[in-house]
């Protein structure tokens, strides 16, 4: 009888802990003060439609609701300027035409500054095939409680060159807040990204500097991804002087989206990619891991397993950047991370438990109970590569965990000294 | 004094009664079948550096303008084997050749290399049968593509309510329409027709950063049409009138199937349908090139046609489905899912479509099933 009571007490305590752990993944709400004005659409639209080379589109102060996308195509040296974040607001809630808020294509030297873009059906600001795109003091957000119905990307330059995103705010994207895809020569600096699934994401991009940013209360703070089947593969990415904290928001990405695989509680996640250097960042209170390094192979396997679990809809994947089962047929693609360099960073974590609504969290819960992990690595490597990960001298105290998932964690290691940079 | 009060109250009463009488009349008129054409209420702006203010300023057509009768032999009407679906609107198309010029053949699937100064005219209208209350066809808009200094420009004109003129109108406009049932469609349709704004033209017409015509390719023009009172092949007509050079022997020119022609195979019809409705973006150099889905009629690679191909950046457009096309399973194919929706973040094509094209959906559904054989 006594034994039974013990077991019962144990069970209740266990459930209570579980409840706390699960409950502690917040679903935030972004509710800025707004007073929307309708009826300015044609005036604003005209400015975009009549823009020529060197036009400056000046937008007045006011919170304007628009029913259609604003687009620019084939123009050079054009500036779109408002009266300040939260002062000039372009609100696309309930839009009926086009999926983007602002859409810029085939242009060069475009600057967007001092305004807010919010609530587009798809992406708030998409820029494609453009050389020279700068965002300065731009807020891009979805208002209300975060939801998978929010648009995918707040800032979305893709296939661009010379990208600058500086002093901007990205809020509540159901995929990535600041997202740069398949681009070259990119600076993402001094921004704030919060309440997104991914705060900042560099994907398949080359020569990227990510510094001075604050990424907090996302599911994952700063991600560096390389995905198969695209026009180019990422390399030479430096992540430094960023403040990455409390990225413990519940993952609200659409099912099957690649960022749906990001465990809540992730400070940074590197997925495949060559040449990523982390230094002088502060990672604080990211429950699962401060920096996680994984191969596409692992994500693919995890994705497959998730798929099996969804019994009623067996083939469900779909969405933004999906897990691609054709990746092995892409001969230019390397699914393993290579030359990932960890310099001096500040790591701290006041949480005792990882978030356990994900595989990483469950593994850590079992393998590393009551310990926090600063750098987590799946242990999968490209045999041909000289180095997968390395730690700079002076970082030996980092709490490291290499999982060796391939051999069922047999050779799992916490020994940093094996991976000191040459 | 009292008389005044009596008179004025009489007036008020009469007014009240007359108002009451009038009201039911308005209510009895079930609907206005077209609203949104230009009226005196609309502000019209001149855009001198873009194009002429009025359609009549170009002198393309004889009076009355809305009969669309070409003003000269240089203005040649044409039709396409498989036209783009635009919410069941009918179209009247013309090529305006500058005097003494001709287009060059490039290839069966490439648009003709038109001479400098060419204008392509496309008028969008609904017939008086579809719009019950009108006595003649109603033209909503006329789109011009003009080749100027080697570059094509687009100019959208919107017609007035009186159908006497169309004005350059760059902002785009919504028109509420009620379409009556026809022999093909059994139900009345109420919807909002969207005239695109001037930048939206580029959404479909840009290829490799340049604006290009889409319709007038040899394989689309290879068909019979009433020209000068007799039925003639359009390409042969252009050739005879010295408006087309370097055309190979006519019998060797490929014909794009008419997707409505039930004597053609399901595969040919569906592929023609996908070509004209999707491939302007879904091809190399088109604005959907990053999707990896290529739907040109000549595409032979099943993966590029979407078979077992996961979407790249479809967002909500994927409908939680895994592949663009699942052989034998139209209900699991993203391609069809997007054709069946009209929400702006799901609908395909992205613009110019506010209605589901039931017949197109049936055709592509049948094609996806047929791939299993």
Determine contact, residues A247/A263, Cβ cutoff 8 Å. Answer: no
Cβ atoms A120, A151 nearer than 8 A: yes
Cβ-proximal residues to B67 (8 Å cutoff; 6+ apart), any chain: B61
| Cα A208 from Cα A202, distance rounded (Å) | 8
Place of tokens 């242990």: A379
Q: Is B145 on the interface with A (CB under 8 A)?
A: no
Chain A residue with minimum CA distance to B196: A97
**Any CB–CB contact under 8 A between B311 and chain A?**
yes
pLDDT reading at B216 higher than 80: yes
- Rounded to an integer, the average pLDDT of B122-126 is 97
The whole-number pLDDT of residue B373 equals 83
pLDDT digits (tens, 9 = 90+) for B1-44: 455 555 555 454 444 444 444 444 444 445 678 899 999 988 88
Is the pLDDT assigned to residue B341 strictly greater than 60? Answer: yes
Which of A326, A303, A231, A318 shows the shortest CA–CA distance to B324?
Answer: A318
Cβ of residue B336 closer than 8 Å to a chain A Cβ: no
pLDDT score for A331: 83
Span B285-320, pLDDT tens digits? 888 887 889 999 999 999 999 999 888 777 778 888
Give pLDDT tens digits for A150-169. Answer: 999 999 999 999 999 999 99
CB of B302 within 8 Å of a chain A CB? The answer is: no
Give the span between the Cα atoms of A205 and A182, in whole angstroms: 5
* Residue in chain B nearest A230 by alpha carbon: B290
3-state secondary structure of B267: helix
Nearest to A390 by CA among A421, A418, A414, A412: A421
The average pLDDT across B354-358 equals 95
- Among A197-201, B69-73, B315-319, the range scoring the smallest mean pLDDT is B315-319
pLDDT bucket at A247, cuts 50 / 70 / 90:
very high
Contacting residues for B249 by C-beta, under 8 A, at least 6 apart: none
Nearest Cα residue to A139 out of A113, A176, A101, A174: A113
- Name the nearest CA neighbour of A201 among A268, A119, A131: A268
Q: Is pLDDT above 90 for B51? A: yes
Domain layout of chain B by residue ranges: 34-245, 257-370
Is the confidence at residue A355, as pLDDT, over 60? yes
Higher pLDDT: A371 or A249? It is: A249
Tens digit of pLDDT for each residue in A89-118? 999 998 988 889 999 999 999 999 999 999
Encode A256-279: b = buried (16+ Cβ within 10 Å), e = exposed: bbbbbbbbbbbbbbbbbbbbbebb
Q: What is the reported pLDDT for B183? A: 85
Upstream peptide bond of B64 is cis (omega within 30 degrees of 0): yes
ipTM: 0.82
**A319 pLDDT higher than 60:** no
Read off the pLDDT of residues A33-76 as tens digits, 9 standing for 90 and up: 999 999 999 999 999 999 999 999 999 999 999 999 999 999 99
Say if residues B277 and B368 touch (Cβ distance below 8 Å).
Answer: no
Tell me the C-alpha distance between B335 and B347, whole Å. Answer: 10
- Phi/psi at A153 (nearest 5 deg)? -120, 135
Cβ–Cβ of A50/B318 closer than 8 Å? no
Q: Which residues pair with A83 in a beta bridge?
A: none
Give the percent of chain A with pLDDT over 70: 88
Element (H, E) at B7: helix B2-28
Name the β-bridge partners of B158: B141, B167
Which of the four pLDDT bands, split at 50, 70 and 90, describes residue A303?
Answer: low
Q: Would the pLDDT of A217 be above 70?
A: yes
Per-residue confidence (pLDDT) for residue B132, from 0 to 100 = 80
CA-closest candidate to residue B205, choices B275, B153, B148: B153
C-alpha to C-alpha distance for A326 and A314, rounded to whole angstroms: 18
Which residue of B170, B209, B310 is in closest CB contact with A317?
B310
pLDDT at B119 over 70: yes
For chain B, the average pLDDT equals 90
Mean pLDDT of A181-204: 97
Contact B76, B110 (CB under 8 A): no
Identify which of B199, B343, B344 has the shortest CB distance to residue A49.
B199
Which residue from A121, A158, A316 is facing B320, i.e. has the nearest CB?
A316
Please give the pLDDT value at position B20. 45
Contacts of B290 in chain A (CB under 8 A): 128, 158-159, 182, 231
∠B230-B234-B238 over CA atoms, to 5°?
A: 105
| B185 contact A CB<8A | no
Residue A290 has pLDDT above 90, yes or no: yes
> How far apart are the two ends of chain B, measured CA to CA in Å?
93
Query: What pLDDT sits at residue B167?
Result: 97
A319 vs B41 pLDDT, higher one: B41
Q: Which residue has the tokens 């010029």?
A: B101
Return the H-helix or E-strand segment holding B240: helix B234-240
Distance CA A144, CA A146 (A): 6
Residues 6+ apart with CB under 8 A from A296: A226, A227, A228, A271, A272, A327, A333, A335, A336
Q: Give percent of chain B above pLDDT 90.
A: 73
* The pLDDT of residue B19: 45
- Nearest-10 crossing angle of helices B266-278, B358-370: 130
Q: What is the DSSP string of A44-75?
A: HHHHHHT--TT-EEE--SEEEE-SEEEEEES-
**Residue B232 β-bridge partners:** B225
Beta strand spans in chain B (E):
34-35, 75-78, 90-96, 103-104, 119-126, 138-148, 151-159, 166-168, 173-179, 189-195, 206-207, 210-211, 224-227, 230-233, 244-245
Sign of CA dihedral B254, B260, B263, B266: positive
Question: How close A104 gets to chain B, by Cα (Å)?
Answer: 11
Of B146, B148, B85, give the one whose Cα is nearest residue B121. Answer: B146
Q: Residue B198: list chain A partners with CB under 8 A.
A: 49
Full DSSP string of A111-164: EEEEEEEE--SS-SEEEES-EEEEEEEEEEE--EE--TTS-SEEEEEES-EEEE
For residue B60, what pLDDT band results from cuts at 50, 70 and 90? very high
Give yes or no for residue B214 having a pLDDT over 70: yes
Higher pLDDT, A7 or A141: A141
**A183 pLDDT exceeds 50?**
yes
């Amino acid at each position: 009888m006594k034994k039974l009571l013990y077991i019962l007490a144990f069970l209740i305590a266990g459930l209570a802990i579980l409840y706390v752990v699960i409950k502690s993944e917040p679903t935030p709400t972004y509710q800025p003060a707004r007073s929307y004005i309708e009826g300015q659409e044609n005036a604003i639209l005209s400015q975009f439609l009549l823009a020529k080379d060197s036009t400056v589109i000046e937008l007045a102060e006011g919170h304007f609701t628009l029913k259609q996308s604003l687009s620019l195509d084939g123009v050079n040296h054009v500036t779109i300027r408002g009266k300040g974040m939260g002062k000039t607001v372009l609100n696309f809630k309930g839009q009926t035409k086009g999926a983007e808020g602002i859409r810029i294509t085939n242009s060069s030297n475009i600057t967007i500054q001092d305004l807010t873009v919010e609530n587009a059906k798809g992406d708030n600001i998409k820029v494609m095939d453009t050389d020279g795109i700068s965002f300065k003091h731009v807020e891009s957000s979805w208002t209300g409680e975060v939801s998978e119905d929010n648009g995918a990307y707040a800032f979305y330059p893709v296939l661009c060159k010379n990208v600058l995103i500086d002093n901007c705010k990205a809020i509540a994207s159901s995929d990535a807040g600041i997202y740069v895809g398949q681009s070259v020569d990119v600076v993402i600096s001094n921004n704030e990204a919060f309440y997104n699934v991914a705060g900042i994401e560099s994907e398949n991009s080359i020569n990227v500097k990510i510094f001075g940013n604050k990424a907090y209360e996302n599911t994952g703070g700063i991600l560096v991804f390389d995905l198969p089947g695209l026009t180019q593969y990422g390399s030479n990415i430096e992540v430094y002087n960023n403040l990455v904290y409390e990225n413990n928001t519940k993952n609200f990405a659409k099912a099957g989206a690649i960022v749906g695989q990001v465990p809540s509680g992730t400070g940074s996640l590197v997925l495949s990619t060559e040449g990523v250097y982390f230094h002088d960042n502060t990672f604080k209170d990211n429950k699962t891991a401060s920096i996680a390094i994984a191969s596409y192979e692992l994500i693919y396997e995890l994705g497959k397993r998730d798929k099996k679990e969804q019994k009623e809809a067996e083939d469900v994947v779909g969405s933004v950047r999906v897990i691609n089962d054709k990746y092995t047929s892409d001969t230019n693609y390397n699914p393993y991370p290579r030359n990932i360099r960890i310099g001096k960073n500040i790591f701290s974590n006041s949480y005792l438990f990882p978030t356990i609504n994900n595989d990483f969290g469950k593994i850590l819960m079992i393998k590393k109970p009551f310990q926090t992990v600063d750098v987590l690595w799946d242990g999968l490597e490209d045999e041909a590569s000289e180095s997968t990960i390395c730690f700079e001298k002076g970082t030996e105290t980092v709490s490291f965990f290499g999982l060796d998932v391939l051999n069922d964690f047999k050779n799992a290691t916490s020994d940093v000294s094996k991976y000191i940079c040459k | 004094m009292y008389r005044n009060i009596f008179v004025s109250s009489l007036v008020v009463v009469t007014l009240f009664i007359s108002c009451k009488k009038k009201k039911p009349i308005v209510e009895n008129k079930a609907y206005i079948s077209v609203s949104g054409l230009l009226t005196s209420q609309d502000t019209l702006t001149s855009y001198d550096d873009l194009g002429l203010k009025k359609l009549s300023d170009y002198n393309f057509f004889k009076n009355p303008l809305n009969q669309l009768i070409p003003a000269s032999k240089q203005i040649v009407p044409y039709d396409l084997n498989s036209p783009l679906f635009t919410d069941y609107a009918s179209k009247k198309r013309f090529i305006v050749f500058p005097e003494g010029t001709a287009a060059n053949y490039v290839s069966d699937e490439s648009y003709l290399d038109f001479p400098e100064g060419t204008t392509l005219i496309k008028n969008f209208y609904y017939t008086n049968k579809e719009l019950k209350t009108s006595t003649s066809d109603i033209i909503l808009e006329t789109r011009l593509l003009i080749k100027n200094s080697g570059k094509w420009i687009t100019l959208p004109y919107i017609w007035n309510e009186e159908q006497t003129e169309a004005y350059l109108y760059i902002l785009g406009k919504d028109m509420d329409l009620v379409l009556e049932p026809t022999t093909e469609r059994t139900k009345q349709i109420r919807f909002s027709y969207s005239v695109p704004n001037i930048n939206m033209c580029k959404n479909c017409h840009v290829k490799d950063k340049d604006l290009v015509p889409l319709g007038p390719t040899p394989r689309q023009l290879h068909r019979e049409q009433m020209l000068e009172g007799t039925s003639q092949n359009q390409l042969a007509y252009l050739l005879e009138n010295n408006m087309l050079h370097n055309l190979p022997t006519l019998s060797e020119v490929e014909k794009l199937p008419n997707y409505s022609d039930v004597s053609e195979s399901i595969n040919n019809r569906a592929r023609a349908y996908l070509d004209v409705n999707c491939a302007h973006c879904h091809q190399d150099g088109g604005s959907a090139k990053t999707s990896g889905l290529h739907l040109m009629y000549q595409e032979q690679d099943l993966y590029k046609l979407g078979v077992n191909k996961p979407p790249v950046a479809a967002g909500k457009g994927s409908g939680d489905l895994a592949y663009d096309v699942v052989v034998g399973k139209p209900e699991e194919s993203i391609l069809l899912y997007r054709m069946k929706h009209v929400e702006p973040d799901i609908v395909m094509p992205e613009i110019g479509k506010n209605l589901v094209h039931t017949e197109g959906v049936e055709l592509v559904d049948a094609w996806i099933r047929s791939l299993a054989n």
